[in-house]
Amino acid sequence: MTQGTLSEQEVKTARLIGKLVGEEKGPTLIFFGGIHGNEPSGVVALERVFEEIIRNNYPLKGAVYGIRGNIPALLRKKRFLETDLNRIWYKTQIELILRKREEDCSIEEKELLGIHKEIFTILETAAAPYYFVDFHTTSSPTLPFITINDALINRNFSSLFPVPVILGIEEYLEGPLLSYINELGYVSLGFESGQHNTDAAAICSIAFTWLTMIYSGFLDEKHVDVENQIKALQKYAESNRTFYEVIYRHAIKETSTFKMLPGFKSFDYIRKGTFLALHNSKEIKAKKDTIIFMPLYQDQGEEGFFLIREIPSWVLSFSASLRRWKTDTLLTMLPGVSWSQPSKEQLKVNLRVARFFSKPFFHLLGYRNKTADRSHLILSNRERVAKKEMYRNTFWFK
């Protein structure tokens, strides 16, 4: 560990939870814990795993970093103090914050600067391939699950873990840290380990850390009881390892009153007409049979709940093939469809043409994060920015 003889208070407020570098070359793992201050399970898990590695002096390949997220909010056990640290990671906002004087920055903007600096120092000094994992917990009871931006590198790596995987949440959220890292082209997984401050959340975060170390080739599996880590995740995930996509976000404004009815749990099946919540005294009911996801049972947060649906496995493999064949190149032969930049990362689609294609069609090809001007849709492609070459020799991407 890097903290040496620091006092307990200094340890709790250090940006680095720990840093371990192996004698042999290998991947670089970057874990974040406590980006939300009321979600300390990830921090605790990383401390435990780092300690165990040091105690047993396991040989390592590559490097691992544990990064503490919102330190002032962690100390106060609050999601955030001024702004949500997981909603300000978009390029224009970051450029703005980087140009500000420090005294003009909000508490969370200062945290962003600290973390941003750490990430880029690591990328400049540590070797590829890179794996980013961001630990969270939820206010409602939940199975542990992974959230990813839908690029094949993320899909393939996620599918190694025996937990459900949620695609497409970034389309509904502005500025989560992982979308920013995903745009840099690296494997980046969000892991929601369970309900805030529960044993299950701690156990699952620890298991997830060990398995990430093993699957990435950082740690040899002979040092860890892999079967037990897998079993722990399987048990809490109730053997569910389905892929889902987000189809609805129930947004709430700071000024509105929102009360979720008690008893809902992520991944619960909901019947049409089920009374879900009171929003500004209005009854919110399910419009069709659906699956509820991350119902909000705390004061802070901008999402009342999400709805998700299962993605059939044939759709997953069909879309993977379409992407490998770069089918989107054919699309640009259509009138009204063109690349918006020479790098072919974004597709510009005339609205008159776009209405002939449904949103799921573009999703199949790896396009997400749609922004529009009056006459065009701009669609970003997760595949074309992914730094696939970096992962070419891994067992999970071959």
Give the interface with Zn ion as residue ranges (CB under 5 A): 36, 39, 136
Identify the bridge partners of residue 145 per DSSP, sorted by sequence position.
Answer: 192
The nearest distance, CB 61 to Zn ion, in angstroms, is 30
CB of 39 to Zn ion, least distance (A): 5
Cβ distance to Zn ion smaller for residue 218 or 293:
293
Instruction: Tell me how far, at minimum, the Cβ of 184 lies from Zn ion, in Å.
Output: 21
Return the number of the residue (36 or 250) whose C-beta is nearest Zn ion.
36
d(CA 366, CA 386): 11
Annotate 128-162 with DSSP letters as a single string. Answer: SPEEEEEEEEESS----EEEE-S-HHHHHHHTTSS
Least separation in angstroms between CB 180 and Zn ion: 15
Please state, in angstroms and rounded to a whole number, the distance separating the CA atoms of residues 33 and 237: 21
β-strands 367-372, 376-381: how paired?
A: antiparallel
Beta carbon nearer to Zn ion, 196 or 376: 196
- Residue number, 39 or 150, with CB nearest to Zn ion: 39
Beta-carbon count within 10 A of 123 CB = 15
Cβ neighbours of residue 141 under 8 Å, at least 6 residues apart? 194, 195, 265, 266
Q: How far is the CB of 7 from Zn ion (least distance, A)?
A: 28
| Distance of closest approach, residue 69 Cβ to Zn ion, in angstroms | 9
Looking at the Cβ atoms of 36 and 376, the one nearer to Zn ion is 36
184: phi then psi, degrees, rounded to nearest 5: -75, -15
> 85 or 331: whose CB is closer to Zn ion?
85
**Across the strands, what pairs with 377?**
349, 372
Backbone angles phi, psi at 43, to 5 degrees: -60, -45
Q: How many CB atoms lie within 10 A of CB 60?
A: 19
φ, ψ for residue 250, nearest 5 deg: -95, 100
Comparing CB distances to Zn ion, the nearer of 136 and 155 is: 136
CB of 136 to Zn ion, least distance (A): 3
